Amino acid sequence: MQWLRSLIGRAPRRYLVLGKASLLAGAILIVSAVFARGGLVALNAERAEARLPALRTLAEAYPQYPTWFVPEGPAGFGLSAVLVLVGTGLAVMAEAAIKEQRRRR
């Protein structure tokens, strides 16, 4: 863990931006998955009234849109959660390094 702190200490602003970007990317993925799942549930409700089989994935429901980046299963949500956790950790450690540098001056 010390090697990571020393790495961040060399360029803390860069790692702060990287951490915030990772946090934002993971959060956007999770929110997009929630909205996509809601849309799929609404679409399946309409299909149930028409006595059509339910759609299982977003690619079946929206073939014209690129849905490969939206997490739909445990692996996708796990990856998104890891992005959020890594981003949070990097941002916190970088902010601590920035405060330490300011205090030294």
- Res 105 pLDDT > 90: no
CA 41 to chain centre: 22
What is the model's pLDDT at position 67? Answer: 87
* Residue burial 16-30, b: 16+ Cβ < 10 Å; e: rest: bebbeebbeebeebb
Give tens-digit pLDDT for 29-61: 999 999 999 999 999 999 999 999 999 999 999
What is the pTM assigned to this prediction?
A: 0.86
What is the model's pLDDT at position 1? Answer: 81
Read off the tokens for 18: 């990287």
What is the model's pLDDT at position 89? Answer: 96
Nearest Cα to 97, choosing from 31, 18, 7? Answer: 7
Rounded to 10 deg, the angle between the 74-104 and 12-49 helix axes is: 160
